[in-house]
A and B are shown apart, each in its own frame.
Chain A
């Protein structure tokens, strides 16, 4: 990965200044510590900070075509660049580097705006066509690599991270209350919104062009599922199993392409274990694996990690993460997420990438995406059970199956139906609604909004759900309910939180690139045409993946109960019962700071903090609310209160 940034003057005159590009690049040094490059010409300025992974000596960006009429800065990897290079050379293109970046300019020459359809990779690209004075911004299909933009005083300003846009604005940003309202429902604002007012992300799978004042956006790829039963794959289970195996082997192998050593994360779950085993069996690359261990036994997966280490004789390193570590590092984590988060889980991921860096590794493969693509999440099971229940809402026993998912719920007696009705029965009267699967989660998350300050949010008519619904494609109503919930997950939590706040940002904070074989678009397109029963057979999640990986893994790894990745939330900040929290927590949750920032009701938050302090806040609702409030306060501290100090143009 790298960092990219740029400015285009839409009026054509008074182009960007070198000082501005350098200020932008300096905010992205962590994404690319190996060198900077700039292109300044008339109305355009491009900046690049490089993390050198391919063609270590010759890959400096910006990169241009033969006659320097096309320039590109690029963050990410094109995994099929070797094949593309051969095709382009045959078509007469001349290369001056060995990089994957250079295929982009020649592909554009060859195919115009459709060049992106030929790329297999993870990318954010800014390409400038000198002849037509056209800027193209494009982002990978699923949202692995970030890209943000804003329009300000007649200019389009864009960057890999929002912090690189801020110095150019020369005025402190403000928080978008509607985006916070959405985030405190869906875990992230509805794309393209960000927590920053008037600053947007380029949505995954989107290509945007800017020619003078004219902007055009085109979705070049999206998650598509069959609208008709006949469109599901009909081959035998064993044939499909073989095809999935082949696809995953290739998706993994091309992600090992690098001129530096490549490592892998090993959580001990099915996905990372499968990935590590595929690397072990289908590559000669020496493999080093990395993992997190937690002091809290309920969060720790070390035993399963050890099972894989023994099984494959891995060269493995683990970092141990305590509650205190999470509390201590959370403050800086928000500098990198640039967003409110509802869980502390990104922080251990940042510690993990720090471990990778300390071993001089720049690249890791991870199992992220398998749950979305191949059907692994509990929310899919929950939705399936709720669908089953919705067929006969008055049934005395159908809802009892939810106990399979949530053993701690006492719903063993029919008398308790009223509880389950309230927690999971939401939307039961309309099980065909596109968002049916996610309503209980969103309802629980939205409880945190009771802490919003009345003054700041008095004018907000919460329109989070209609906004989400209007962002969905029309054809979603024709899809199988399981596919609908997959789509929601793939378009909200995954790109909006998992791949950014918990993914790219935590990796790049330590200049480490993540690669995600399960998110290879060929794997996704294959999986999207599998019937849901091959993803979840009864309540057996990732059924086909498990079958495909049986010969690669110890049986206990295949059969183990899925454990969601979690980190300590409230205990990370309130370690001593009834004692003081960490200094920065005490300060940012003080009534004075809460009142001064203005987002939350100081009295209510003080009561929540009191409950947390005495160890009484054990529920998901309170944990999410407290982490959400604290991270918003930290966000304000970094990006608004200290704007002048942190984002000076000089």
Chain B
């Protein structure tokens, strides 16, 4: 849950520029919301790499891993699993 909370805060504050929790559902697609530009993906990757000490490989840079809070949480959970 801590991961989800942190990610929600990060996305709301840095891409939606709001603290209104209702502005983002966990399943919402960042692409469909139009909140991420072509370098925005890189920013998200930098953030999760730094925050969770993981390394995102080239073939992992896909919407299935990165395009919603739920996808990000699942991806980070998988990557940080022992």
Contacts and interface: CB of A to CB of B under 8 A. Distances in A.
B49 interface: no
* Interface core residue of B37, B61, B62, B64 (most chain A CB under 10 Å): B37
A406 interface: yes
B58 A410 contact: yes
Interface string B28-66: 000100100111111100010000000000110111100
Contact of A619 (B17, B18, B31, B39): B39
A419 B14 contact: no
Given A415-B64, A416-B61, A419-B63, A611 B13 contact: yes
A111 B40 CA distance: 57
Given A419-B63, A611-B13, A616-B14, A621 B31 contact: no
B64 to A, nearest CB: 7
A607 B14 CA distance: 7
**Chain A interface mostly:** helix
Interface stretch (A115-123, A443-451, A561-569, A642-650): A443-451
A412 B60 CA distance: 11
A596 interface: no
B18 A422 contact: no
B58 A412 contact: yes
Contacts of B59: 413, 415
Nearest to B59: A413
A604 B58 CA distance: 32
Given A412-B58, A447-B34, A611-B13, A604 B63 contact: no
A396 B62 CA distance: 15
A397 interface: no
B41 to A, nearest CB: 7
B34 A408 contact: no
Contact of A618 (B18, B31, B34, B43): B43
Size category, A interface:
20 to 34
B14 A423 contact: no
A415 B18 CA distance: 31
Contacts of B43: 616, 618-619
A451 B62 contact: no
Contacts of B40: 619, 621
A450 B17 contact: yes
Size category, B interface:
20 to 34
A621 B34 CA distance: 11
A254 interface: no
A620 B62 contact: no
A217 interface: no
A409 interface: yes
B2 to A, nearest CB: 20
A157 B18 CA distance: 44
Nearest to A611: B14
A619 B19 CA distance: 21
Contacts of A416: 61-63
Interface string A403-436: 0001011101101101100110000000000000
A539 interface: no
A418 B29 CA distance: 11
Contacts of B39: 408, 618-621
A423 B18 CA distance: 23
A603 interface: yes
A601 B64 CA distance: 33
A640 interface: no
Contacts of A604: 17-18
Given A447-B37, A621-B40, A415 B62 contact: yes
B17 A423 contact: no
B17 A608 contact: yes
A608 B62 CA distance: 26
Contacts of B61: 410, 416
A609 to B, nearest CB: 10
Contacts of A406: 38
B41 A419 contact: yes
A601 B23 CA distance: 16
Contacts of A415: 59, 62, 64
A450 B17 CA distance: 9
Nearest to A624: B37
Interface string A596-624: 00000101110110110000101111000
B43 to A, nearest CB: 6
Nearest to B57: A410
Given A607-B14, A616-B43, 6 more contacts: A419-B63, A422-B31, A451-B17, A611-B13, A619-B37, A620-B38
Interface of A: 406, 408-410, 412-413, 415-416, 418-419, 422-423, 444, 447, 450-451, 601, 603-605, 607-608, 610-611, 616, 618-621
Q: 6 tightest CB-CB pairs across the interface, nearest first? A: A619-B39, A604-B17, A621-B37, A607-B17, A422-B31, A415-B62
